[in-house]
Amino acid sequence: MPNPIGFSSHDHAGCIRGSVAVVEAECAARGVRLTPVRRRVLEILLQDHRALGAYEVLDRLREEGLGSQPPVAYRALDFLTRNGFVHRIERLNAFVACTDPGHDHAPAFLICRLCDHVAEAQTDAAAGRLGQTASQTGFEIERTVLEAEGVCPNCRGEASV
């Protein structure tokens, strides 16, 4: 998959089907279960390339009778993030579907503060300047969070600050 999906139009229905299929295959390969709730949460997140809060996800589940209490949503989100199918956006306390499930990667995000859309990119932050500082001091990096906030190309066109 090329790089920064999220701010440009594309075959969205196909994009959803494709991702679900990949995740299904990955789950089978890893011997973990993509249960109905988990699958539905993934689909909900795939609908938008937007970050949704856990309670937004929960609201949708409720409408569909798939569970109505917070732990239902949090557990599904936890499963999906543990397996790399969904990423958590720390800056927003929210979640987005991974645009490239199946490959291990250190994700980075471009977050539009106007429309809340999120694009996923790749990072090698741990290899750069921060990585040098870390190795100099003996700090062992296990995970990096890299999130850039700003204005996306679509919103830049539309005047408003």
Residues within the interface to a copy of itself (CB under 8 A) = 3-4, 7-8, 90-91, 108, 110, 112-113, 119, 121-126, 128-130, 133-134, 136-153, 156
d(CA 154, CA 16): 22
* Nearest to a copy of itself of 37, 115 (CB atom): 115
Going residue by residue from 3 to 42, which x/- string records binding to DNA, judged by CB under 7 A?
-----------------------------xx-xxxx----
Interface with DNA, residue 71, by CB under 7 A: yes
Q: Least separation, in Å, of the C-beta of 113 and a copy of itself? A: 7
CB-CB contact of 31 with 45 (8 Å): no
d(CA 67, CA 141): 37
The DSSP string of 22-66 is HHHHHHHHHT----HHHHHHHHHHHHSSB-B-HHHHHHHHHHTTS
Which residues sit at the interface with DNA, rule CB under 7 A? 32-33, 35-38, 53-55, 66-72, 74-76, 78-79, 93-94
